[in-house]
Amino acid sequence: MKNKSFIKKYLALFIVVALFIVFMLINRDSKNSVFTVWDLVAMVLLLPPTYLLVSLLDVWVERKTMIKLIGNDSGLRGVLLSFFMGSIGIGPLYMAFPIMAILLKKGASVRNAFIFLGAWATTKLTQIFFEAGSLGLKYTMIRLLLNSISIILISELINWTVSKETEWTINKSNDKKLQSITEEM
Amino acid sequence: MGFSFIKSKEKSIVALKKTWESLCEMLPKFLTLLLFIMIMLSYIDEVFISKALGKSTGIGGIIVSGLLGSITLMPTAVAYPLAAGLLKLGAGYAQVTMFITTLTTVGIVTLKIEKDYLGLKVTLLRNIFSFLLAFVNAVIIAFIFT
């Protein structure tokens, strides 16, 4: 049984790796890809720190603290803090999903969690430097302003949608798993 | 992490254990996805992107740029110089903005990962609205810069 799930888990990976090797052999001399093996290595290297951060947050930060900082009644300060936390993140958007899940689990409001996600995507500090360098400061500032408005609109919308549902729990299966680990302690 | 160890050894070990479990869970999915994207992207090169963003103008061009941005995964360190180059080559501000914004906010290839964390409905909502608002932003920026 365990063996079977192992095969199932890695089957897709093996197929894609095989495909990848075939494609590498076919396209050996064309260097037209905008995406290189080094980007892949860089992305995989980002995974352990991300999960380490998530786990550390999980272990150290009390639910009470999180509720106070970015919970439902945290007001403007919570919004600003969420923006700030998202902006100092490093890595592509999908790195933010696990972090966001742990924020929600620890009692962050839905609105603030999506502000965090939006900020991670568009107002990241590292990104702003690249952007201002290549597209100019004026462009960067205008885009930042417009995107900030978008982020707030999206988080309001999702907050409104979710609030109509009685029980919206993020990441049901994983959450159960996290809980079982906590109970083990 | 070092700080965590000094404060409490037990809690740190729990954190490490959790990190390891999440990694084991995630790594195969993640690698599959990345390799798949790499295969796909080997067919979308800079020439293709500049054609889509540069020659087509108007609403159709913006939407195509948005779709391109949605399916592409590219480090922003690469994307911004590319965008600057495209603008010099005559691409429209609206198209370039749409491309960059959807590149960072909308992820079609990462939908599956997102769905695992946020659920299908919220994931779709977030992506669709990000796309629409990216469009609005692109039009406003084009208006300001031309």
**Residue B123 domain boundaries:** 30-145
DSSP of A13-42, one letter per residue?
Answer: HHHHHHHHHHHHHHTTT----SS-HHHHHH
| Percentage of chain B exceeding pLDDT 90 | 13
Interface touch B105/A153, C-beta < 8 Å:
no
pLDDT band at B140 (very low <50, low <70, confident <90, very high): very high
Distance CA A72, CA A108 (A): 7
Residues sharing a CB contact under 8 Å with residue B90, sequence separation 6 or more, in sequence order: B54
Chain B hits for A59, Cβ within 8 Å: 4, 11-12, 14-15, 18
Note whether residue B55 is domain-resident. yes
Q: Is the pLDDT at A32 greater than 90, yes or no?
A: no
CB A168 within 8 A of CB B119: yes
Tell me the whole-structure pTM to 2 decimals. 0.73
pLDDT band at A130 (very low <50, low <70, confident <90, very high): confident
Interface touch A147/B101, C-beta < 8 Å:
yes
Note whether residue B24 is domain-resident. no
Note whether residue B103 is domain-resident. yes
Note whether residue B34 is domain-resident. yes
pLDDT of residue A176: 46
pLDDT of residue A182: 39
Question: Number of folded domains in chain B?
Answer: 1
CB B143 within 8 A of CB A179: no
Question: Where exactly are the structural domains of chain A?
Answer: 46-184
Distance CA A80, CA A74 (A): 10
Integer angstrom CA distances of residue A159 from A40, A151, B143: 34, 12, 31
A72 close contact with B: CB closer than 8 A: no
Closest CA to A140 of B141, B79, B94, B129: B141
* Residue pLDDT, tens place only, B42-67: 665 666 666 767 655 678 888 888 88
Note whether residue B63 is domain-resident. yes
Most confidently modeled range among A20-24, A151-155, B61-65, B107-111: A151-155
Note whether residue B11 is domain-resident. no
ipTM rounded to 2 decimals: 0.74
Note whether residue B3 is domain-resident. no
Note whether residue B4 is domain-resident. no
Most confidently modeled range among A12-21, A109-118, A170-179, B87-96: A109-118
Query: Closest chain A residue to B87 measured between Cα atoms?
Result: A135
Distance CA A149, CA A129 (A): 20
Higher local confidence (pLDDT), A17 or B131: B131
Interface touch B42/A33, C-beta < 8 Å:
yes
Distance CA A47, CA A92 (A): 11
CB B76 within 8 A of CB B105: no
